[in-house]
């Protein structure tokens, strides 16, 4: 088996007095699509936020693409990462947020081209060409010159996806990307993800409450509770024959099975 692209080893994470992870271990293989489900407050989003370097860790190690994320090798030992190291590591990762977090002062096109130009040093022409392709992919070619405040929630989130993809991350993190949407707008966003994985192979880690979607798209589903993976396996196994009581209770409550 190849080395996993994401590896959590004995990770500890606290917020004040609340322990999120006391000793967390987790791996993701390259090109694997992993869904994380579970009750709120179980640490699902924290997992993604730690990977995106939005939250630090209080102990343990994380490897991304064979390199330590939160530590760097310096003068013969591992030390906490500096901003330069984090900047390098973030090139592997992209994230789509629950509340979109589009930049309201920039056009849709500019939202997508800004980071490739400023961070990757791409030329304007190149960045705009790529933005055009991405907007086609998410079905918003006609909205390039609109501003985020003029878009519906579903459209905003599709721009959010295009913006993350423009940086060509090898790992895509989707943090409850449909939770803030009206029910009728959920599918247009999920369809984009469906098309995406059909056309290309991705390592994708998604936190979601859309159980049918998780079942359909994932290679593996992890049921999270209180900072641990209670149960994981192929989607069919988890959804049709959950072994653990807590998984059963959660799925019962969620799907009304």
Partner 1 sequence: MEFGEIVSVLLQGAVVTIKIVAMALPLAAVMAFIFGLIRLYSPAPFKQIAIFYIEFFRGTSALIQLYWIYFVLPFFGITIDAMTAAVVALGLNIGAYGTEVVRGAVQSVPKGQYEASIALNFTARQRVWRIILPQAFVNMIPPFGNLAIELVKATSLVSLITIGDLTFKAKSLADTTLQVGEIFGVVLFLYFIMSQALALLFKLLEKRLSKGLGRGGIN
x/- contact string, 19-58, with partner 1 (CB under 8 A)? ---------------------------------xxx----
- Residue 185 touching partner 1 (CB under 8 A): no
206 to 77, 96, 104, 121, 217: CA distances (angstroms): 33, 10, 25, 29, 10
From 3-11, 88-96, 132-140, 207-215, span contacting partner 1 (CB under 8 A): 88-96
Interface residue with partner 1, options 164, 185, 189, 190 (CB under 8 A): 164
From 35-43, 110-118, 196-204, 215-223, span contacting partner 1 (CB under 8 A): 110-118
Closest to partner 1 by CB, 22 or 179: 179
Burial of 19 (0-12, 13-18, 19+ CB in 10 A): middle
- Give the Cβ contact number of residue 198 at 10 Å: 8
Q: Give the H/E segment covering residue 215.
A: helix 211-217
| DSSP-assigned letter for residue 57 | -
Rounded Cα distance between 107 and 116, Å, is 15
Rounded Cα distance between 195 and 212, Å, is 16
Structure tokens at 34: 């992993």
3-class SS at 19?
strand
Closest to partner 1 by CB, 80 or 257: 80
- Residue 97 touching partner 1 (CB under 8 A): yes
Q: Which single residue is written with the structure tokens 């939160």?
A: 70
Interface residue with partner 1, options 13, 44, 71, 90 (CB under 8 A): 90
Rounded Cα distance between 189 and 206, Å, is 13
Closest to partner 1 by CB, 72 or 95: 95
Rounded Cα distance between 119 and 134, Å, is 18
Closest to partner 1 by CB, 45 or 247: 45
x/- contact string, 132-161, with partner 1 (CB under 8 A)? ---------------x-xx-----------
- Give the Cβ contact number of residue 182 at 10 Å: 10
Closest to partner 1 by CB, 155 or 247: 155
Closest by alpha carbon to 12, among 205, 227, 232? Answer: 227
x/- contact string, 114-133, with partner 1 (CB under 8 A)? xx--xx--------------
- Residue 180 touching partner 1 (CB under 8 A): no
Interface positions with partner 1 (CB under 8 A): 52-54, 83, 87, 90-91, 93-95, 97, 99-107, 110, 114-115, 118-119, 147, 149-150, 163-164, 167
């Amino acid at each position: 088996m190849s080395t996993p692209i994401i590896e959590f080893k004995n990770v500890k994470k606290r917020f004040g007095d609340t322990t999120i992870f006391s000793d967390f271990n987790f791996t993701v293989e390259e090109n694997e699509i992993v869904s994380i489900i579970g009750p709120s407050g179980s640490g699902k989003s924290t997992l993604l936020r730690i990977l995106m370097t939005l939250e630090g860790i209080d102990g343990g190690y994380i490897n991304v693409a064979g390199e330590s994320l939160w530590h760097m090798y310096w003068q013969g030992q591992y030390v906490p990462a500096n901003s330069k190291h984090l900047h390098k590591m973030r090139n592997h990762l992209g994230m789509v947020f629950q509340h979109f977090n589009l930049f309201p002062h920039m056009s849709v096109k500019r939202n997508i081209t800004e980071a490739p130009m400023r961070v990757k040093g791409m030329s304007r022409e190149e960045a705009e060409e790529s933005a055009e392709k991405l907007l086609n992919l998410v079905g918003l070619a006609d909205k390039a010159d609109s501003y985020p405040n003029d878009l519906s929630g579903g459209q905003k989130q599709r721009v959010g996806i295009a913006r993350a993809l423009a940086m060509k991350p090898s790992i895509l993190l989707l943090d409850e990307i449909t939770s803030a949407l009206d029910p009728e707008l959920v599918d247009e966003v999920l369809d984009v993800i469906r098309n995406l994985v059909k056309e290309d192979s991705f390592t994708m880690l998604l936190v979601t409450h859309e159980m049918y979607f998780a079942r359909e798209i994932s290679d593996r589903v992890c049921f999270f509770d209180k900072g641990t993976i209670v149960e994981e396996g192929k989607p069919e196994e988890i959804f049709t024959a959950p072994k653990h009581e807590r998984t059963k209770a959660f799925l019962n409550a969620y799907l009304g099975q």
